[in-house]
Amino acid sequence: MTEEKKYGLIVIGGGMTGLSTALTWALNHDTKKDPVLLIEKEPKTGGYVTSYEREGFLFDTCQMIPNISDILDYLGIEIELKKFKGYYMRIFIVDPKTGEKKVLELPSGVETFKKQLMEQYPNNAKQIEDFLDYSRAMYLELYNLKVEPTVSEIFKTLRKCPKIVKNSSKTFKEYFEKFEITEQEVKEIFNVFAEFSALPSEEVSAIVPISAMNSLLDGAFRPTKGFIEFTKKIEDRFKSLGGDLLLNTKVDKILVEEGKVQGIKLKNGNEIYSDYVVTTCDPKVAMIDMVGLDIIRELNKKYAKKVEEVKMSCSSMNLSIGVDDDIDLEALGLDCGYNVITTGGDSYDRLFDAYEKGEIGFNNNRFHLGVICPSLTTGGKPNLTVRITPVPLGNWLELREKDTEEYKKEKLRWAEFFIDKVEKYLIPDLRKHIKVLDISTPATYARYSGSPTGSVYDMAPYTNNFGRTRLKMRTPIEGLFQPKFVHGVFGCLLAGIQVNDMILDGKIMNGYARYKP
């Protein structure tokens, strides 16, 4: 075993959360005196946020982010972002029996969106207005929320965040029903926002879709040179401030003595020491495999129980499709944000029932998928991304490891299924134009993130797994933190700043849940 120098902070995992954590430390310390080390098991940083090239087509895992200019300014990152033009979202509600489809087109901009819905559904105009206004106000209350409130701050929260307090334990369905919206189409529209959280509306904590809806309606963006440029810029800035980065290096254990973190042990046996460690890996892996539940239990039984009970989010399939130049994607209206093709009604709820049993619930009568055309926003050879949730890990990993041929066949079979739907309802003759098809399965996600469930959105925001009831960022082990609880790039960047704020006793965000410049 070699003893390395002692670090001020060690960050495990170089995804968006780890990058933001490490960079924020470097911004707030003299890295010569308080050095910071970021450790990533893969040959590059970025984790789930990455771009990859196949036969001249550039594909991204991630597709869109809200306006995060405040956070980028704080981190000192300059990146060219392009706003999605056209509609924010189009929802195709289809009837597989008749082949009929109803297309709902939703504009960007909170006020425009509200006006259009109120005009389109006059019978529910008042209810729509109430719902959107109340939800906007609740979303803005997030800026008054403290992460670890003192007793007096709890009283302030009751006054300053009444809507959040009132609705914090409500599912989106329960919350939505209060507004007595009766139009089925309007219900479909808002359910799609719930499903962006990869949970059905009857399960997801109300505040999550409300936040996603409000932040994305303000504008949805993509980096012009692929999401990989984004991660690279954060990495470069971190290194320029004196941060150390170890790639191709896997952390095996988090070292703890007498309730205090001591550092980490690498897979190769080397130990590196620090009084602060931030883990950004799957929280179950970090707490159970790297620390050990017995150690946590001795310090805090409740936290240990919570670790055992944490529900991780679902996994996914993703089709990256490169097409030839003979197809006019713009004429098909694809220069917008998301195109959702769904059999509507309770489809997502039933897909989720199957997922919870470890099954894929998609069939010809029940499906729900998102289609995006990144190249119409940020250029490059024409390409499409098809996003599919919820998909369980099931036997994908086993199949890939034991029978590669069968694995390839199975993923192609599902890809054909989803391409069929896109071809039937959105892009006629799509198949004829496909030049490249790259398919990711839950096994792909499990491998890259190290999450045994291939979870794509961290801990799932069920009402008993989110907000006040989530697994806390501050662990019972002194000096050990795990800022993993929100899905999406914005949430990860924010969490990295937040965890530094906690370590620095509120120096950056004064303990607030949202960053305010």
Ligand X SMILES: Cc1cc2nc3c(=O)[nH]c(=O)nc-3n(C[C@H](O)[C@H](O)[C@H](O)COP(=O)(O)OP(=O)(O)OC[C@H]3O[C@@H](n4cnc5c(N)ncnc54)[C@H](O)[C@@H]3O)c2cc1C
Site for ligand X contains 18 (CB under 6 A): yes
Cα separations (Å) of 423 from 175, 324, 328, 342, 391? 36, 15, 14, 14, 21
Look up residue 466 and give its DSSP letter.
S
Question: Cβ(187)–Cβ(179) under 8 Å?
Answer: no
Q: Toward ligand X, which CB reaches closer, 64 or 138?
A: 64
Near ligand X by CB under 6 A: residue from 40, 141, 235, 275? 40
- Residues in the chain, total: 517
**Helix 16-28 vs helix 227-240: angle between axes, to the nearest 10 degrees?**
30
Q: How far is the CB of 185 from ligand X (least distance, A)?
A: 25
* One of 135, 318, 320, 339 touching ligand X (CB under 6 A): 318
Token pair, residue 405, equals 């041929």
Of 9, 11, 16, 208, the residue at the interface with ligand X (CB under 6 A) is 16
How many other β-carbons are positioned within 10 Å of the β-carbon of residue 77? 19
Q: Which is nearer to ligand X, 124 or 315 (CB)?
A: 315
Q: How far is the CB of 48 from ligand X (least distance, A)?
A: 4
Kindly state whether residue 449 participates in binding ligand X, applying the rule CB under 6 A. Answer: yes
**What is the DSSP secondary structure assignment for residue 453, as one 8-state letter?**
T
Stretch that binds ligand X, among 237-245, 327-335, 392-400, 450-458 (CB under 6 A): 450-458
Q: What is the dihedral of CA 9, 13, 18, 23, to 10 degrees?
A: 60
Q: Least CB distance from residue 479 to ligand X, whole Å?
A: 18
C-alpha to C-alpha distance for 481 and 488, rounded to whole angstroms:
19
Stretch that binds ligand X, among 98-106, 121-129, 442-450, 506-514 (CB under 6 A): 442-450
Closest of 336, 321, 339 to residue 383, by C-alpha: 321
Residue 47 near ligand X by CB under 6 A = yes
Q: How far is the CB of 400 from ligand X (least distance, A)?
A: 17
Q: Exactly one of 48, 352, 396, 418 binds ligand X (CB under 6 A); which one?
A: 48
Task: Provide, rounded to whole angstroms, the least separation between the CB of residue 372 and ligand X.
Answer: 8
Q: Enumerate helices (H) and strands (E) in the chain, giving the number of each.
A: 20, 19
Compute the C-alpha angle 229/235/241, nearest 5°. Answer: 135
Site string for ligand X, 49-88 (x = CB under 6 A): x-----------xxxxx-----------------------
List, as own/partner pairs, every contact residues 225-230 make where C-beta atoms lie below 8 angstroms and the sequence separation is at least 24, other chains included.
225/80, 225/378, 226/51, 226/58, 226/60, 226/378, 227/46, 227/49, 227/50, 227/51, 227/60, 227/61, 227/62, 228/46, 228/49, 228/50, 228/51, 228/60, 229/51, 229/79, 230/49, 230/77, 230/79, 230/489
Indicate whether 281 belongs to the interface with ligand X (CB under 6 A). Answer: yes
From 189-197, 236-244, 347-355, 443-451, span contacting ligand X (CB under 6 A): 443-451
- Say whether residue 442 binds ligand X (CB under 6 A): no
Three-class SS of 247-284: CCCCEEEEEEECCEEEEEEECCCCEEEECCEEECCCHH
x/- mask, ligand X, residues 191-230, rule CB under 6 A, reads ----------------------------------------
Residues of span 163-192 touching ligand X by CB under 6 A: none
Residues 6+ apart with CB under 8 A from 99: 424
Q: How far is the CB of 285 from ligand X (least distance, A)?
A: 7
Q: What's the closest the beta carbon of residue 340 comes to ligand X, in angstroms?
A: 14
Looking at residues 237 to 256 of the shown chain, list those that interact with ligand X (rule: CB under 6 A). 250-251
Q: Closest distance between ligand X and the C-beta of residue 329, in Å?
A: 19
- Going 111 to 114 to 120 to 123, the CA torsion angle's sign is negative
Which of 17, 167, 197, 475 lies at the binding interface for ligand X (CB under 6 A)? 17
Q: Does 344 bind ligand X (CB under 6 A)?
A: no
Amino acid present at 21: T
d(CA 268, CA 486): 31
Nearer to ligand X, 251 or 393 (CB): 251
Asked whether position 445 contacts ligand X by CB under 6 A, the answer is yes
The piece of 45-53, 295-303, 334-342, 347-355 that touches ligand X (CB under 6 A) is 45-53
Least Å distance, CB 456 to ligand X, is 4
Instruction: Name the residue nearer to ligand X (CB basis): 17 or 262.
Output: 17
Residues of the chain by 3-state class (helix, strand, coil), percent to 5? 40, 20, 35
The count of residues interacting with ligand X (CB under 6 A) is 36
Closest distance between ligand X and the C-beta of residue 154, in Å?
28
456 binds ligand X (CB under 6 A): yes
Name which position in 291, 307, 489, 508 contacts ligand X (CB under 6 A).
489
- Rank residues 127 and 482 by Cβ distance to ligand X and give the closer one: 482
- Is 14 a binding residue for ligand X by CB under 6 A? The answer is yes
Task: Compute CA distances 70 → 44, 248, 481, 483, whole Å.
Answer: 26, 32, 24, 20
**Residue 39 found at the interface with ligand X (CB under 6 A):** yes
CB 198 within 8 A of CB 311: no
Tell me the closest approach of the beta carbon of residue 451 to ligand X, in angstroms.
Answer: 7
Tokens of residue 13, six digits: 């995992």
CA–CA separation, 154 and 199 (whole Å): 29
Q: Least distance in Å: CB of 325 to ligand X?
A: 26
* 340 counts as binding ligand X under rule CB under 6 A: no
Task: Quickly list DSSP for 45-91.
Answer: SBTT--EEEETTEEEES---B---HHHHHHHT----EEE--S-SEEE
Residues that bind ligand X (CB under 6 A): 12-18, 39-42, 47-49, 61-65, 250-251, 280-281, 316, 318, 445, 449-450, 456-457, 484, 487-490, 492
